[in-house]
Amino acid sequence: MTKTVPKSDTRIQKKNQALIMSAGLVVFSQFGFRGSTLDLVAQEAGLSKPNLLYYFRSKDAIYTALLAKTLTNWLEPLRKIDAKGDPVEELLGYAKRKLDMSQHYPRESRLFANEIIQGAPRIGDVLRGELRELVDETAVVINGWATAGRINKVDPYHLIFSIWAQTQHYADFDVQVRSVLGNIDPFDGAQYHLEAMLRGLLTPLVDQKGC
């Protein structure tokens, strides 16, 4: 008989699996996969280590499940960009959604940051597959807007990178940002700044001053 992991989904299983995922998020997002231990996750979850392994086959299984679960939500904002909407408002909306995620789900951001910094050993395929396709599609949309003269000509890939970079920075480097800002809340100013930056980049000059 091979190692058994619960098949049926009772409410207590759902609860404990969620508990473990939540604890795993806390630990893995701070220390990365290699820097995390099952003992830490168990302690955070308030369960015993063997009990973790009753619900998940291995440390790897917890981490992988966590990544997979979070990944979908993480890419969703990009899918919401509507080719038929107003270009500047669509891109600003995207940036705002990403910034909101950094504010409300910083751990998820750090989880990915850790994974990618370490070379993305488990999600390399997703990066080169699903993510790349999604970005390619969005790039086509952005290029269409530029060709139509509705925004300035920009490199759509680097535009997307710059939105990722600036929004995720406030989650991943939270400690640094707050060290510099002191008591000031980062996210108010961040949103305003990001908007100004994107408008300055995207808005055709003729619209800015009407000449």
Would you tell me which residues interact with its own copies (CB under 8 A)? 30-36, 110, 113-114, 116-120, 124, 127-128, 131-132, 135, 152, 154-155, 157-159, 161-162, 164-166, 168-170, 172-173, 175-177, 179-182, 189-190, 192-194, 196-197, 200-201, 205, 208-209, 211
3-class secondary-structure state, position 184: coil
d(CA 50, CA 39): 10
**Amino acid (one-letter) located at 150:** R
Among residues 82, 56, 66, which one has the least CA distance to residue 27? 66
Count, residues near DNA per rule CB under 7 A: 23
**Residue number, 148 or 205, with CB nearest to its own copies:** 205
Single residue of 26, 47, 120, 197 touching DNA by CB under 7 A: 47
**Residue in the structure block whose two tokens are 């995390």:** 36
Among DNA, its own copies, none, partner that 59 touches (CB below 5 to 8 angstroms by kind): DNA
Among its own copies, DNA, none, partner that 76 touches (CB below 5 to 8 angstroms by kind): none
Angle ∠(157,158,164) on CA atoms, nearest 5: 95
Single residue of 38, 75, 120, 201 touching DNA by CB under 7 A: 38
49 CB-near residues (< 8 Å, 6+ apart): 38, 39, 42
**Residue number, 83 or 117, with CB nearest to its own copies:** 117
**Residue number, 16 or 114, with CB nearest to its own copies:** 114
Largest Cα span, the chain: 78
Minimal distance in Å, beta carbon 62 to its own copies? 16
Tokens of 42: 């168990």
Minimal distance in Å, beta carbon 14 to DNA? 9
**Residue in the structure block whose two tokens are 């070379």:** 119
> Roughly what angle, to the nearest 10 degrees, separates helices 156-172 and 186-202?
170
Question: Which positions touch DNA (CB under 7 A)?
Answer: 3, 6, 8, 10-13, 16, 36-39, 47-51, 53-54, 57-60
